Structure 1
Amino acid sequence: MSVQARAQEPAAAAPAAQVSVAEGIKDVRRRIEAAAERSGNKAPRLVAVGKTKPLEMVLEAYHQGHRYFGENYVQEIVEKAASAPEDIHWHFIGHLQSNKAKALLQGVPNLSVLETVDTAKLADRLNRICGELGRDKPLGVMVQVNTSGEESKHGVEPAEATVLAAHITEKCPNLKLAGFMTIGMPDYTSKPENFVCLKDCRRRAAEQLGMDEAELELSMGMSGDFEAAIEMGSTNIRVGSTIFGARVYPNKK
């Protein structure tokens, strides 16, 4: 069944899922506010990640007043964006192959931020395609940093983060450097250096680029560690399963 067809189903078709999503997003919002209050930091933006979940579940969060949503797969975000309200701010948070950049940007004209730029090649391709498509404003991008050193994770080495950030700001006029993103190690409590490392990347880049650190966001924190990330100063958290429930992974590209 297509995403469009699912979106047209009556609301009563999946009442349990709808209640779960509504309760989930309310609970996450409560936990965000509590973590921000504990730390004295500003509450970050919540990007609700609907990876592998049907559009109707995303829309349930939308009807709770939420507007920021993230997806990991090009095909999935393109399908959802085609039927979703235009005032959604979409974040792409999955690894993006250069040859899929055009499909993403054409398919999601209201893409707000691409959080996973990890090479100058990808930045250049995004910059060129944005120019060809005539976007109204530059595409927000984040530099993904591999702060844990795990081979299974994408991202530039911390020492190269500033180089890529400088390339984006100096060579890619159709892109806007929004900040830095990382995926922390699962056991955050014993590995807080992942988030400390990202903060250091931001500090060094701000110094070299002549920017205020506050101009650059820190996208860190997911379902298992977003409260700790908030206490470390995250400005953008990506929460999926805590809102939408456990995921099922189809063969998406």
Structure 2
Amino acid sequence: MVCPAMESAAATALRSVLSRVHVAAERSGRSSEQVRIVAVSKTKSVSVIHQAYEAGHRVFGENYVQELVEKCPQLPADIKWHFIGNLQSNKVKALLSGVPNLDMVETVDDEKIANHLNRAVANFGRKPLKVFVQVNTSGEESKYGVEPSGCVELAKHVKFGCPNLIFSGLMTIGMLDYSSTPENFNTLRRCRNEVCEALGIPEEQCELSMGMSADFEQAIEMGSTNVRIGSTIFGPREYPEKDKDSEPKT
């Protein structure tokens, strides 16, 4: 059980993030309503997530299927869950069956996982699922994501070959220290230009999910419409000691 002081700290931190997003959005010439905040709650208890919910937040993200499937039924059904971790094909059924209010999968990085999601959505009789194509903009072998040169073909496959998926945009994770250089974000913007031209869609129909706790303000200033913020809202992650250095600072 998390003490009330810690829970209220999450709500206070959320308000601070909202303020920072508002300022960054204004600097980018947009309204803060045009930027979605995904509160990344991995390793955090249901009670802490509920505190952010009570503060008015509705969009949360998780990295692990089992953790999300366990938390989902304990929390309000109007939460919009984003899956933001690497998704293995053998976990797709568990994710879709266990999370009825799954709003988006942000990490489609090849045709195989797109096809698995497409079939599973149909098999479960769900409405079409929104997805982002994940792009490896940093070129790091440790990062998942399609190479920038392959993002157009994967986006085409999702849009035209997966009728049960809704291509909604592109997603990237920053550099190894999770504090992105502008080049990472510029690469994703160039990918969006190429995808929009190839698909014949306006930029407004291709979101950019870029920016985490260390770099979300810069990301917003460079056009991000979706930022994934965890530790800045919920505090340090509670990993087993051996895992602390292996996870992104969302």
Query: TM-score interval w.r.t. the shorter chain?
Result: over 0.9
> Any gaps of 5 or more consecutive residues in structure 2?
244-250
- Is the partner of 1:234 in helix, strand or coil? coil
Residues 1-253 of structure 1: matches in 2 within 5 Å?
14-43=3-32, 44-135=35-126, 137-185=127-175, 186=177, 188=179, 191-250=181-240
Deviates most, 140-149 or 178-187:
178-187
Q: TM-score, normalised by structure 2?
A: 0.93
With 157-166 and 15-24 compared, the bigger mean Cα shift is at 15-24
Structure 1 unpaired stretches of 5+: 1-5, 7-12
Name the CA distance, whole Å, in 1 between partners of 2:179 and 2:84.
Answer: 20
Q: Structure 1 length as normaliser, TM-score?
A: 0.91
- Give the conservation status (yes or no) of the 8 Å contact 1:148–1:184: yes
Looking at structure 1, the residues matched to 87 and 178 of structure 2 have their Cα atoms a distance apart, in angstroms, of 26
Q: Supply the distance in 2 between the matched residues of 1:156 and 1:163 (Cα, whole angstroms).
A: 10
Secondary structure of 1:112's match? Answer: strand
Contact 2:178 2:212 in 1 (8 A): no
Secondary structure of the residue aligned to 1:134 is coil
Secondary structure of 2:87's partner? coil
- The number of aligned residues is 239
> Do the aligned residues in 1 keep the contact of 2:136 with 2:172 (CA within 8 Å)?
yes
**Structure 2 SS opposite 1:32:** helix
Counterpart residue type for residue 198 of structure 1: L
Could you tell which deviates more after superposition, 76-85 or 217-226?
Answer: 76-85
Q: Distance between the aligned counterparts of 1:91 and 1:120, measured in 2?
A: 20
Give the alignment's Cα RMSD to 1 decimal: 1.4
User: Cα offset for 1:42?
Assistant: 3.2
The separation in 2 between residues aligned to 1:38 and 1:214, in whole angstroms, is 19
Partner of 1:3: none
CA displacement at 1:188 relative to structure 2: 4.4
Distance 1:64 1:188 in 2: 28
CA drift at 1:16: 1.9
Match of 2:246 in 1: none
